[in-house]
Amino acid sequence: MALLPVLTALLLAGLAGCGPGRGAVGPDAGPARALPRQVTAEESATLRRAELVLERRCMARAGFHLPPVPEPARNGPPPPPMRLVLADPAWAREHGYGSLVRPSGPDGDAASRGADPVDTYVRGLTPQRRAAALRAWQGGGRDTVEVTLPSGMTTGRSTRGCTSEARGELYGDFRTWFGADAVDRDIVSLALSRTETDPAVTGALRGWAVCVAGRGLPYSSPQRLRAALGASATKADEIRYAVAEAECAVTSGLAEAAADAERRHLAALRARYRADVTNARAMRLAALRKAALILRGEHPSRQTT
């Protein structure tokens, strides 16, 4: 694939002069070019659905016929970003929290209601067939690739099996993809963790807590407020909680402080792990055309597992 030499060159360039850590860029690195753009939420959903289609084709070749990938749910306008706090009062007044606290399952609404058709299919197999299906799906722990993440944790996955084969087929090279994607995703989690303890954020959070307490909601953080709402809350209560969270985020300065801190921490981590971020974004963008063909049934899968 023509993309891979380019990505490998980028990776090696990023590793030159590295300090500790995968893909870290040393302080003496020269001026960096702009990163490739991130895929949109819709593009990310397209890639995920293509992965699922390829997984099912692979499983079918192994003799297991998983239920087809469902059509994406249409649940109204997408929610605003909510990392640390919901900060869009207008959206909150109309939608409450929406799917921000009531997400659909990975294969659609059925999974979120506990009726995942894939789970039902696997549970319906005999114990021997179920074990064989799981080996075909996840690779049985053979030929594992491991990656040390920016957070210091290690993650790994078998290079065998249909989940890995699907990603290798879609993105061009599973090992490169797995490492870059894992680091890129961990950067977001690590930046959020650092944002939560950023002094500017913890200071603004005290003002936010005072604000929501004045509305009869005595909670010290947005996470505690949402947890107190509960899954069985009425829509009116959900809207009341969401509006209180969002309006107090704006008036207390928490929304601005959290957004600024997150930008700072993300920028620092992405600069340090620039090679992996570049690879992950470039591989996602390059996979979009193939994903569209897969979803239209116009792209044949490779025939080996």
- Give per-residue pLDDT as tens, 171-226: 999 999 999 999 999 999 999 999 999 999 999 999 999 999 999 999 999 999 99
Domain boundary assignment for the chain: 3-25+35-295
**Could you read off the pLDDT of 260-303 as tens digits, one per residue?**
999 999 999 999 999 999 999 999 999 999 999 999 887 666 65
Q: How far is CA 53 from CA 42, 106, 195, 259, in A?
A: 17, 13, 36, 36
**Could you read off the pLDDT of 242-261 as tens digits, one per residue?**
999 999 999 999 999 999 99
N- to C-terminal Cα separation, the chain: 19
**Could you read off the pLDDT of 147-185 as tens digits, one per residue?**
999 999 999 999 999 999 999 999 999 999 999 999 999
**Beta-carbon-side half-sphere exposure of residue 28 (alpha carbons within 13 Å):** 4
Report the chain's mean pLDDT, rounded to a whole number: 84
Question: Residue 14: what pLDDT?
Answer: 36
Q: How far apart, in whole angstroms, are the C-alpha atoms of residue 283 and residue 172?
A: 8
Residue 253: name the closest of 215, 213, 209, 193 by CA: 209
Residue 78: name the closest of 61, 62, 91 by CA: 91
